[in-house]
Structure 1
Amino acid sequence: MNKPILFHLKLIVAPTLVDSFVNLLENISENVSWDVSENPDQDIRIDAFVSNKETLLPLTQTMVVETLSRALKSYNLPSPTALSIEEIPEKNWLLENQLSFPPLEIGSFFIYGSHFEGKIPKHKLSLEINAALAFGSGEHASTKGCLLALSSLPEFIPQKGLDMGCGSGILAMAASMFFKIPFTAVDIDPFSIETTKENLRKNNLKTKVSCFQSNGYVSLKKEETFDLILCNILAKPLCEMAPQLRKHLRPKGMAILSGLLKTQSQEVIEQHQKYGLQLTNRIAIEDWETLILTHE
Structure 2
Amino acid sequence: MTTTLTPSTHRATFAIGDEQTAKRVADLLTENFFEGEAAIAAFEGPAGCWDITLHFAQAPDENAIRELVTAAAGEEVARSISFETVEARDWVKATLDELIPVHAGRFVVHGRHDRAKVPPNKAGIEIEAALAFGTGHHGTTRGCLLLLDEVLKANRPRRVLDLGTGTGVLAIAAAKALRARILASDIDPLSLRLAAENARLNGVGELVETVRASGFSAPQFELRAPFDLVLANILANPLRQMATPMSRHLASGAHVILSGLLTPQTTAVIASYRARGLVLKRHIRIEGWSSLLLVRAG
Short-chain TM bin: 0.7 to 0.9
* Unaligned ranges ≥5, structure 2: 1-5, 31-37
Between the aligned partners of 1:208 and 1:292, the Cα distance in structure 2 is 24
Question: Contact 1:115–1:131 (CA<8 Å) still a contact in 2?
Answer: no
Partner amino acid, structure 1, of 2:82: S
Between the aligned partners of 2:160 and 2:269, the Cα distance in structure 1 is 21
How much does 1:178 deviate?
2.1
Between the aligned partners of 1:116 and 1:95, the Cα distance in structure 2 is 13
Check 1:295–1:20 CA distance in 2 against 1; reply closer, same or farther (3 A cut).
farther
Question: Contact 1:6–1:49 (CA<8 Å) still a contact in 2?
Answer: no
Between the aligned partners of 1:147 and 1:135, the Cα distance in structure 2 is 15
From the CA coordinates, give the structure whose radius of gyration is larger.
Answer: 2
Check 1:20–1:268 CA distance in 2 against 1; reply closer, same or farther (3 A cut).
farther
Check 1:274–1:49 CA distance in 2 against 1; reply closer, same or farther (3 A cut).
same
The worse-fitting range, judged by mean Cα deviation, of 103-112 and 251-260 is 103-112
Q: Secondary structure at the match of 2:197?
A: helix
Partner of 2:241: 240
How much does 1:63 deviate?
7.8
Q: Secondary structure at the match of 1:166?
A: coil
Between the aligned partners of 2:60 and 2:206, the Cα distance in structure 1 is 42
* Unaligned ranges ≥5, structure 1: 52-58
Check 1:60–1:286 CA distance in 2 against 1; reply closer, same or farther (3 A cut).
same
Q: Secondary structure at the match of 1:204?
A: coil
Indicate whether 1:46 and 2:51 are aligned.
yes
Partner of 1:13: 16
| 1:180-199 deviation line (CA, Å, top 9, x unaligned) | 32101110011111111121
Between the aligned partners of 1:71 and 1:228, the Cα distance in structure 2 is 41
The worse-fitting range, judged by mean Cα deviation, of 212-221 and 3-12 is 3-12
Structure 1 stretches of 4+ moved >6 Å: 63-73
How much does 1:213 deviate?
1.1
Q: CA RMSD in A?
A: 3.3
Check 1:187–1:9 CA distance in 2 against 1; reply closer, same or farther (3 A cut).
farther
How much does 1:86 deviate?
3.4
Identity of aligned residues (%): 29
Question: Contact 1:94–1:132 (CA<8 Å) still a contact in 2?
Answer: no
Between the aligned partners of 1:191 and 1:5, the Cα distance in structure 2 is 24
Aligned length: 278
How much does 1:36 deviate?
1.9
How much does 1:150 deviate?
0.8
| 1:119-172 deviation line (CA, Å, top 9, x unaligned) | 321111101101244731011111111011111121012001001111111111
Partner amino acid, structure 2, of 1:10: T
Q: Secondary structure at the match of 1:167?
A: coil
Question: Contact 1:166–1:187 (CA<8 Å) still a contact in 2?
Answer: yes
Higher helix share: 2
Name the TM-score, length of structure 2 as normaliser.
Answer: 0.80
